[in-house]
């Protein structure tokens, strides 16, 4: 990280007329690019035209070379790439706070699965996902990776909101809200893929096998093969608890990673969430196969699943992004808060204050997340030619004063409530901390309606 300005990232002729662009953001206190060297620009400016970032650098030359159809002075603000939430279940915002303080298996089988069986339908998924999107946008998350049932409704919600997303139809071997049996699960997967809107470049389909202990060998293989046919990300939960690892090892005579590798489902288009209970040789396999990992520290902490071997994964060269998991097991979708917990958790667990630096953690929440979703050529860093997904954080806050190191301040101090402006694909979706592309009050009202039905059923 450098505190000095970097060279303007686009050549221009100072004698030519200024170029008109859609957005010109000037006098930015700090630009944190999250590029390969984690460059930081002090007193910078950005130019956005259409969906693309066309210039960034010191404020004066950028302001001289460009004229904005819309301009915004961002003095006392820090601008960074849009955050990437690499693992969540958006619709489960309807279940926030349900069944707290239980171990994972009791929480799932006694609370979550029965509630889902009774209440999850397209309406639930649509409004729950919209609520999750409102929360994520307000917290600076511009891209998320989702997995749930009735995922067409999540697609509808993401399309309406203008957020970027990978949207995965959930698959289980036992009855689920939108699939009464395994044969229906296959039809659901194929129908979901066939109906996915091809014109939506911001949205990509995916398939999500819940876990190796809820999906059998044949299911894992046919779902992965379907993903290969369509060049999609294959999602699953992996080695989240010691108990599931013990059971899978008893059942298959090898650990979960070796079992999945034997099935041929591990490759660069496989994204595994959690990955807490890993052996060193399993980490080597994940690195060799190019598997992406979503690290979900707060969810793992709350459900007492354990501490994932994040430093070992990074040392081995495994691609890692950060995820919040669902509101039901976190209980928020604040990736800025998640970064703070990730850095501190691994320092205290390893008794090493150097492990998981602020720079490493911020990169996982931006460029790392983009990489595990296969989107790193377009998002994850502020660079000319990439999509204009970016976030402006208000630095004029007591808890952000003074500021010596912008990256450390983001990771250890900033909160989702400090986010003031957000752009996705060059479109402004948050202004002064409010989502302007959705009716926030209506979304909350609809989710409260759904929650009343759930609460009534629990009495």
pLDDT tier, 311 (very low <50, low <70, confident <90, very high otherwise): very high
Is residue 406 situated within a structural domain? yes
Is residue 389 situated within a structural domain? yes
CA–CA distance, 131 with 120 (Å, rounded to integer):
15
Is residue 1 situated within a structural domain? no
Among residues 88, 81, 38, which one has the least CA distance to residue 358?
38
The answer to whether residue 459 scores a pLDDT higher than 90 is no
The answer to whether residue 107 scores a pLDDT higher than 90 is no
CA–CA distance, 326 with 206 (Å, rounded to integer):
17
Instruction: Return the pLDDT at 102.
Output: 87
The answer to whether residue 4 scores a pLDDT higher than 50 is no
pLDDT tier, 5 (very low <50, low <70, confident <90, very high otherwise): very low
Residues 147 and 249 occupy one common structural domain: yes
- Structure-token pair, residue 261: 């590798």
Instruction: Return the pLDDT at 292.
Output: 98
The answer to whether residue 14 scores a pLDDT higher than 90 is no
As a whole-number percent, the residues of the chain with pLDDT over 70 amount to 96
Residues 277 and 171 occupy one common structural domain: yes
Structural domains of the chain, count: 2
What average pLDDT is seen over the chain?
Answer: 95
CATH number at residue 54: 2.30.40.10
Q: What is the pTM of this model?
A: 0.95
Q: At what angle do helices 440-458 and 122-138 cross, to 10 degrees?
A: 130
Sequence-separated (6 or more) residues with CB below 8 Å from residue 457: 115, 118, 119
Report pLDDT digits (tens) over 437-455: 999 999 999 999 999 999 9
Work out whether strand 427-431 and strand 434-435 pair parallel, antiparallel, or are unpaired.
antiparallel
Question: Once rounded to an integer, what is the mean pLDDT over residues 235-247?
Answer: 97
CA–CA distance, 77 with 420 (Å, rounded to integer):
9
40: domain range?
Answer: 19-82+379-435
Residues 336 and 219 occupy one common structural domain: yes
Is residue 450 situated within a structural domain? no
CA–CA distance, 415 with 297 (Å, rounded to integer):
17
CATH number at residue 119: 3.20.20.140
- Structure-token pair, residue 82: 């849009």
The full 3-state SS of the chain, as one line of letters, equals CCCCCCCCCCCCCCCCCCEEEEEEEEEEEEEECCCCCCCEEEEEEEEEECCEEEEEEEHHHHHHHEEEEEEEECCCEEEEECEEEEEECHHHHHHCCCCCCCCHHHHHHHHHHHHHHHHCCHHHHHHHHHHHHHHHHHCCEEEEEEEECCHHHHHHHHHHHCCEEEEEEEECCCCECCECCHHHHHHHHHHHHHHCCCCCCCEEEEEEECCCCCCCHHHHHHHHHHHHHHCCEEEEEECCCHHHHHHHHHHHCCCHHHHHHHHCCCCCCEEEEECCCCCHHHHHHHHHHCCEEEECHHHHHHCCCCCCCHHHHHHCCCEEEECCCCHHHCCCCCHHHHHHHHHHHHHHHHCCCCCCCHHHHHHHHHHHHHHHCCCCCCCCCCCCCCECCEEEEECCCHHHCCCCCHHHHHHHCCCHHHEEEEEECCEEEEECCEECCCCHHHHHHHHHHHHHHHHHHHC
Residues 227 and 348 occupy one common structural domain: yes
Pick the last residue of a domain from 327, 355, 372.
372
Instruction: Return the pLDDT at 119.
Output: 96
Residue listed under structure tokens 């686009």 = 10
Among residues 118, 120, 190, 186, which one has the least CA distance to residue 148?
120
50: left (phi over 0), alpha (psi -120 to 50) or beta: left
Instruction: Return the pLDDT at 458.
Output: 76
pLDDT tier, 128 (very low <50, low <70, confident <90, very high otherwise): very high
Report pLDDT digits (tens) over 328-387: 999 999 999 999 999 999 999 999 999 999 999 999 999 999 999 999 999 999 999 999
CA–CA distance, 201 with 159 (Å, rounded to integer):
10
- For residues 428 and 389, the answer to whether their CB atoms sit within 8 Å is no
- For residues 311 and 304, the answer to whether their CB atoms sit within 8 Å is no
pLDDT tier, 388 (very low <50, low <70, confident <90, very high otherwise): very high
Residues 66 and 128 occupy one common structural domain: no
CA–CA distance, 103 with 112 (Å, rounded to integer):
12
Pick the last residue of a domain from 320, 349, 372.
372
Report pLDDT digits (tens) over 50-82: 999 999 999 999 999 999 999 999 999 999 999
Residues 176 and 284 occupy one common structural domain: yes
Report pLDDT digits (tens) over 139-176: 999 999 999 999 999 999 999 999 999 999 999 998 99
Residues 430 and 353 occupy one common structural domain: no
| β-strand partners of 31 | 41, 79
Is residue 441 situated within a structural domain? no
pLDDT tier, 198 (very low <50, low <70, confident <90, very high otherwise): confident
Residues 77 and 93 occupy one common structural domain: no
Instruction: Return the pLDDT at 207.
Output: 98
Instruction: Return the pLDDT at 16.
Output: 62
pLDDT tier, 243 (very low <50, low <70, confident <90, very high otherwise): very high
Among residues 140, 90, 129, which one has the least CA distance to residue 335?
140
- Structure-token pair, residue 247: 């059971």
Is residue 88 situated within a structural domain? yes
Instruction: Return the pLDDT at 182.
Output: 84
The answer to whether residue 278 scores a pLDDT higher than 60 is yes
CA–CA distance, 134 with 129 (Å, rounded to integer):
9
Question: Once rounded to an integer, what is the mean pLDDT over residues 103-116?
Answer: 88
Residues 90 and 78 occupy one common structural domain: no
CA–CA distance, 20 with 123 (Å, rounded to integer):
43
- Structure-token pair, residue 30: 């700090």
Is residue 279 situated within a structural domain? yes
């Amino acid at each position: 990280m450098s505190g000095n300005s970097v060279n303007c990232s686009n050549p221009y002729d100072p004698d030519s007329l200024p170029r008109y662009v859609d957005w010109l953001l000037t006098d930015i206190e700090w630009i944190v690019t999250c590029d390969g060297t984690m460059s930081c620009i002090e007193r910078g400016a950005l130019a956005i035209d259409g969906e693309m970032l066309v210039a960034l650098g010191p404020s004066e030359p950028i302001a001289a070379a460009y004229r904005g159809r819309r301009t915004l002075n961002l003095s006392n603000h820090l601008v960074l790439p849009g955050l990437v939430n690499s693992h969540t279940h958006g619709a489960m915002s309807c279940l926030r706070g349900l069944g707290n303080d239980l171990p994972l298996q009791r929480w799932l089988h006694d609370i979550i699965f029965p509630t889902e069986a009774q209440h999850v339908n397209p309406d639930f998924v649509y409004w729950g996902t919209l609520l999750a999107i409102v929360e994520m946008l307000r917290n600076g998350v511009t891209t998320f990776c989702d997995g749930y049932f009735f995922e067409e409704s999540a697609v509808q919600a993401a399309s309406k909101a203008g957020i970027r997303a990978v949207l995965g139809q959930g698959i289980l071997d036992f009855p689920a809200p939108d699939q009464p049996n395994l044969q229906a699960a296959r039809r659901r997967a194929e129908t979901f893929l066939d109906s996915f809107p091809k014109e939506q470049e911001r949205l990509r389909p995916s398939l999500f096998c819940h876990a190796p202990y809820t999906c059998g060998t044949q299911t894992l293989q046919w779902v992965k093969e379907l993903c290969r046919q369509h060049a999609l990300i294959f999602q699953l939960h992996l080695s989240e608890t010691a108990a599931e690892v013990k059971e899978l090892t008893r059942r298959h005579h090898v650990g979960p990673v070796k079992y999945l590798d034997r099935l041929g489902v591990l490759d660069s288009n496989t994204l595994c969430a959690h990955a807490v209970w890993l052996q060193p040789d399993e980490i080597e396999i994940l690195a060799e196969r190019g598997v992406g990992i979503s690290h979900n520290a707060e969810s793992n902490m709350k459900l007492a699943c354990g501490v994932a071997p994040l430093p070992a994964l990074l040392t081995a060269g495994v691609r890692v992004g950060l995820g919040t998991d669902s509101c039901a097991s976190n209980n928020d979708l604040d990736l800025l808060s998640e970064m703070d917990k990730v850095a501190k958790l691994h320092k205290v667990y390893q008794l090493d204050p150097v492990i998981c630096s602020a720079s490493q953690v911020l990169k996982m929440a931006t460029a790392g997340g983009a990489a595990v979703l296969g989107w790193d050529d377009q998002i994850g860093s502020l660079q000319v030619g990439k999509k204009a997904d970016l976030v402006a954080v208000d630095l004029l806050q007591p808890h952000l004063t003074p500021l010596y190191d912008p990256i450390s301040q983001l990771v250890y101090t900033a909160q989702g409530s400090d986010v003031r402006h957000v752009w996705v694909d060059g479109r402004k979706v948050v202004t002064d901390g409010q989502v302007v592309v959705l009716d926030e009050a209506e979304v909350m009202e609809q989710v409260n309606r759904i929650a009343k039905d759930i609460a009534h059923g629990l009495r």
